[in-house]
A and B are shown apart, each in its own frame.
Chain A
Amino acid sequence: MYKVHNKSSSFAKIYLILIFLLLYTPILFLIFYSFNSGGTMGSFKGFTLDWYRDLFKDMRLFLIVLNTFAIAILSSLVATIVGIFGALAIHSYKQRKTRNTLLSLNNVLMVSPDVIIGASFLILFTIGGIKLGFISVLLSHIAFSIPIVVLLVLPKLTEMNPTLMDAARDLGANNWQILTKVILPYITPGIFAGFFMALTYSLDDFAVTFFVTGNGFSTLSVEIYSLARRGISLNINALSAVLFLFTIALVIVYFLLQQRSNLKTMGVRK
Chain B
Amino acid sequence: MHNKHIRRIYMIPYALWITLFVITPIILVGYYSFFDIEGNLSIVNYQKFFTPVYLKMTLSSFWYAFLITLISLIIAYPTAFFLTKTKHKQLWLLLIIVPSWVNLLLKAYAFIGIFGKYGPTNYFLEWIGIGTKQILFTDFSFIFVAVYIFIPFMILPIFNALNELSPSFIDAANDLGASRWATFRRVIFPLTLDGVKTGCQIVFIPALSLFMLTRLIAGNRVITLGTAIEQHFLVTQDWGMGATIAVFLMLIMFIFMILTGKDV
With contact pairs A16-B86, A82-B13 given, residues A27 and B120 touching in the complex (Cβ less than 8 Å): no
User: A200 CA to B249 CA in the complex, in Å?
Assistant: 26
CB-contact partner of B109 in A117, A224, A248, under 8 A = A224
- Asked whether, in the complex, the Cβ of A207 is within 8 Å of the Cβ of B211, the reply is yes
Say if the beta carbon of A66 comes within 8 Å of chain B. Answer: no
- Asked whether, in the complex, the Cβ of B215 is within 8 Å of the Cβ of A251, the reply is no
Which stretch of A51-59, A69-77, A85-93, A185-193 is in the interface? A85-93
The digit string for A139-159, where 1 denotes a CB below 8 A from any CB of B, is 100010010001000000000
Residues facing B in A238-252 (CB within 8 A) are: 239-240, 243-244, 247-248, 250-251
- Asked whether, in the complex, the Cβ of B242 is within 8 Å of the Cβ of A119, the reply is yes
CB-contact partner of A127 in B28, B212, B233, B243, under 8 A = B28
Contacts of B21 in A (CB 8 A): 109, 121, 124, 139, 143, 146
With contact pairs A115-B246, A240-B109, A251-B94 given, residues A120 and B86 touching in the complex (Cβ less than 8 Å): no
Tell me the smallest distance from the CB of A198 to a CB of chain B, in Å: 13
User: A122 CA to B28 CA in the complex, in Å?
Assistant: 10
Tell me the smallest distance from the CB of A164 to a CB of chain B, in Å: 15
Contacts of B104 in A (CB 8 A): 204, 206, 221
- Asked whether, in the complex, the Cβ of B118 is within 8 Å of the Cβ of A42, the reply is yes
User: A117 CA to B10 CA in the complex, in Å?
Assistant: 25
Tell me the smallest distance from the CB of A113 to a CB of chain B, in Å: 4
Contacts of A102 in B (CB 8 A): 18
With contact pairs A12-B85, A15-B82, A85-B13 given, residues A236 and B148 touching in the complex (Cβ less than 8 Å): no
User: A121 CA to B32 CA in the complex, in Å?
Assistant: 13
- Asked whether, in the complex, the Cβ of B94 is within 8 Å of the Cβ of A232, the reply is no
- Asked whether, in the complex, the Cβ of A119 is within 8 Å of the Cβ of B103, the reply is no
The digit string for A216-244, where 1 denotes a CB below 8 A from any CB of B, is 00001100110011011000100110011
Contacts of B119 in A (CB 8 A): 41-42
Tell me whether chain B's interface is mostly helix, strand or loop, or mixed. helix
The digit string for B191-217, where 1 denotes a CB below 8 A from any CB of A, is 000000000010001101101100110
Say if the beta carbon of B165 comes within 8 Å of chain A. Answer: no
Say if the beta carbon of A108 comes within 8 Å of chain B. Answer: yes
**Chain B interface residue number, banded:** 35 or more
With contact pairs A115-B209, A240-B106 given, residues A105 and B233 touching in the complex (Cβ less than 8 Å): no
- Asked whether, in the complex, the Cβ of B10 is within 8 Å of the Cβ of A243, the reply is no
Q: How many A-B residue pairs have CB under 8 A?
A: 221
User: A16 CA to B242 CA in the complex, in Å?
Assistant: 42
- Asked whether, in the complex, the Cβ of A105 is within 8 Å of the Cβ of B18, the reply is yes
Contacts of A95 in B (CB 8 A): none
- Asked whether, in the complex, the Cβ of A23 is within 8 Å of the Cβ of B151, the reply is yes
- Asked whether, in the complex, the Cβ of A86 is within 8 Å of the Cβ of B17, the reply is yes
- Asked whether, in the complex, the Cβ of A82 is within 8 Å of the Cβ of B109, the reply is no
User: A16 CA to B96 CA in the complex, in Å?
Assistant: 10
User: A9 CA to B96 CA in the complex, in Å?
Assistant: 19
CB-contact partner of A143 in B17, B113, B152, B230, under 8 A = B17
- Asked whether, in the complex, the Cβ of B211 is within 8 Å of the Cβ of A20, the reply is no
Contacts of B130 in A (CB 8 A): none
With contact pairs A92-B7, A146-B17, A232-B113 given, residues A243 and B103 touching in the complex (Cβ less than 8 Å): yes
- Asked whether, in the complex, the Cβ of B243 is within 8 Å of the Cβ of A119, the reply is yes
What is the chain A residue whose CB lies nearest that of B28? A123
- Asked whether, in the complex, the Cβ of A86 is within 8 Å of the Cβ of B14, the reply is yes
With contact pairs A89-B14, A115-B211 given, residues A204 and B103 touching in the complex (Cβ less than 8 Å): yes
Say if the beta carbon of B53 comes within 8 Å of chain A. Answer: no
Contacts of B151 in A (CB 8 A): 19, 22-23
Which of the listed residues A24, A123, A240 has the most CB atoms from chain B within 10 Å of its own CB? A123
The digit string for B23-43, where 1 denotes a CB below 8 A from any CB of A, is 111101100100000000000
- Asked whether, in the complex, the Cβ of A243 is within 8 Å of the Cβ of B102, the reply is yes
- Asked whether, in the complex, the Cβ of A112 is within 8 Å of the Cβ of B105, the reply is no
State the B residues within 8 Å of A (CB): 2-3, 6-7, 10-15, 17-18, 20-26, 28-29, 32, 75, 78-79, 82-83, 85-86, 92, 94-96, 98-99, 101-114, 116, 118-120, 123, 148, 151-152, 201, 205-206, 208-209, 211-212, 215-216, 225-226, 229-230, 233-234, 239, 242-243, 246, 249-250, 253, 257
21 contacts between A and B (CB under 8 A): A9-B85, A15-B78, A23-B99, A26-B107, A30-B110, A41-B118, A82-B17, A85-B11, A89-B11, A108-B26, A114-B206, A114-B209, A115-B211, A115-B230, A116-B29, A119-B229, A120-B25, A121-B25, A210-B230, A232-B113, A240-B106
